[in-house]
Amino acid sequence: MLLNMKDLLAVAHANYFAVPAFNISSNMLLRGAIEASEEKQSPVILAIHPDELSFVRPSFVAAAVAEANKASVPVCIHLDHGSSLGQIMEAIQCGFTSVMIDASLFPLEQNIEISKQIVALAHSVNVSVEGELGTIGTTGPEAEAGSDVIIYTDPDDVVTFVEATGVDTLAVAIGTSHGIYPKDRKPELKLDLLKEIASRVNIPLVLHGGSANPDDEIAAAVKLGINKINISSDIKDAFYQKCREVLADPHLREPNSIYPPCIEAMKKVCHHKIDLFNATGRLHFIKYGSVEARSRRARLLGTGFGNRTHMIMSSLYETVC
Ligand SMILES: [Zn+2]
């Protein structure tokens, strides 16, 4: 069941849990994320960063859409850290149901202007938008980009930004960094700041750089209003650590021999995160209809994907737990 982020997170927002956004950049990671979510009966966000999209190529998104449509759990396909109109347009053409516009390195006024334009474009074709205020840190070259010094989100700016842009969700900087922290660096979330931000706006808040943070801080952040948490490094680390172990056998060469244990190792991490985010079993939803949108956005944008049918469920479920 493919949904946009606004519809997917409305339920999490109303029920105090967070949906994991797993970064996928291979078929193995796609499979692991969907299987783990189905096993835990949890909604899931499949996040793809523009660098990941360049690597897997747009045709990969068609596979993700097909998997999402047949999944037994709600799935959103989300562009992570889009930074230009071109990237956003490409994502919408490919079949993403949600995009992030990250103009957080610009001054507030410019961030508002850019984000507002993306919201107007994306909303016209039922694609939801995540914005970002403040800057998330980075832990090194293997992690996603970020600033050396974290600029914490200003709660006053949050109100201005959300009202002016109409974004559906907002990524906030409260102390996390992309990647896995070196031993000498301890992440510390400013939970008071999060509490303040959550009291000012009524939209789902997003935590980036959710890998390698202490579990108790993440659980507290979920209770305070975080409804989406990005996990990239933790699942990839588990997957490739297992790959290294498996490939110690020099005779192995078939992907279907090598990768299944690696997928299982990744899924263990997914299971743990889903439990931690309080998202396990959040599928007691009422499905009250479906809308088969025949590539409305594709036709509007003249992308040539007109024959493809997307199942877009708009506000079609709500939790009853
Ligand atoms: Zn991020």
CA distance 203 to 183: 35
Which DSSP symbol is given to 288? Answer: -
Residue 178 has pLDDT above 90, yes or no: no
Coil, strand or helix at 283: coil
For the question of residue 80 being annotated catalytic, the response is: yes
Q: pLDDT-derived band of residue 235, with 50, 70 and 90 as boundaries?
A: very high
Q: Give yes or no for residue 204 having a pLDDT over 80.
A: yes
How far is 262 from 26, CA to CA, in rounded Å? 13
CA distances from 182 to 31, 179, 185, 275 (A): 29, 9, 5, 25
Q: Tell me the mean pLDDT in the region 68-93.
A: 96
Of the candidates 116, 189, 112, 119, which has an alpha carbon nearest to the alpha carbon of residue 158?
112
Q: What is the mean pLDDT of residues 292-313?
A: 37
pLDDT grade for 183, boundaries at 50, 70 and 90: low
Beta strands in 119-242 (DSSP E): 128-133, 137-138, 169-172, 177-178, 205-207, 226-231
Higher per-residue pLDDT: 184 or 246: 246
Distance 291 CA to ligand 1 centre (A): 31
Nearest to 288 by CA among 255, 314, 264, 260: 314
Per residue in 56-70, is it b (16+ CB within 10 Å) or e — as a string?
beeebbeebbebbee
Select the more confidently predicted residue: 291 or 40. Answer: 40
Beta-ladder partners of 23: 47
Question: Looking at residues 32-48, what average pLDDT do you find?
Answer: 97
pLDDT tens-digit map of 90-122: 999 999 999 999 999 999 999 999 999 999 999
Whole-Å CA distances, 51 to 80, 95, 138, 157:
10, 17, 16, 29
Reported as a single tens digit per residue, the pLDDT across 244-263 is 999 999 999 999 999 999 99
* pTM for the model: 0.87
Where is 293: in which H helix or E strand?
A: strand 291-293
Domains of the chain: 5-312 (3.20.20.70)
The span from the CA of 168 to the CA of 84, in Å, is 18
Cα dist from 209 to 19, 96, 165, 273, 301, whole Å: 14, 21, 24, 13, 33
152 Cβ partners below 8 Å, 6+ apart?
134, 173, 174, 175, 190, 193
Q: What percent of the chain has pLDDT over 90?
A: 75
pLDDT band at 181 (very low <50, low <70, confident <90, very high): low
Predicted confidence band at 185 (pLDDT cuts at 50, 70, 90)? low
Q: Separation of 211 CA from ligand 1 center, angstroms?
A: 11
Selected catalytic residue, list 80, 102, 234, 237? 80
- Distance between Cα 1 and ligand 1 center (Å): 25
In this prediction, residue 315 carries a pLDDT of 38
Which of 52-61, 129-138, 251-260 is predicted least confidently? Answer: 129-138
Please give the pLDDT value at position 147.
Answer: 65
Q: What mean pLDDT, rounded, does the chain reach?
A: 86
Residue 26 confidence (pLDDT): 97
- The SS3 call for residue 214 is coil
Tokens of 138: 């980075």
**Residue 141 — pLDDT band, cuts 50, 70, 90?**
low
261-273 pLDDT, tens per residue? Answer: 999 999 999 999 9
* Average pLDDT value for residue range 47-76: 96
Please enumerate in sequence order all residues whose Cβ is within 8 A of that of 276, keeping only pairs 6 or more positions apart, or say none: 215, 218, 219, 222
Asked if 227 and 19 count as a contact pair (C-beta separation under 8 A), the reply is: yes
Under 8 Å between Cβ of 5 and 62: no
Q: Which helix (H) or strand (E) holds 77?
A: strand 75-82
**How far, in Å, CA of 132 to CA of 134, rounded?**
7
Statement: residue 311 has pLDDT above 90: no
| CA 137 – ligand 1 centroid, Å | 9
Band (188; pLDDT cuts 50, 70, 90): confident
What would the mean pLDDT of 161-180 be, rounded to a whole number?
A: 91
Residue 179 pLDDT level (bands cut at 50, 70, 90): confident
Phi, psi of 138 (to 5 degrees): -135, 155
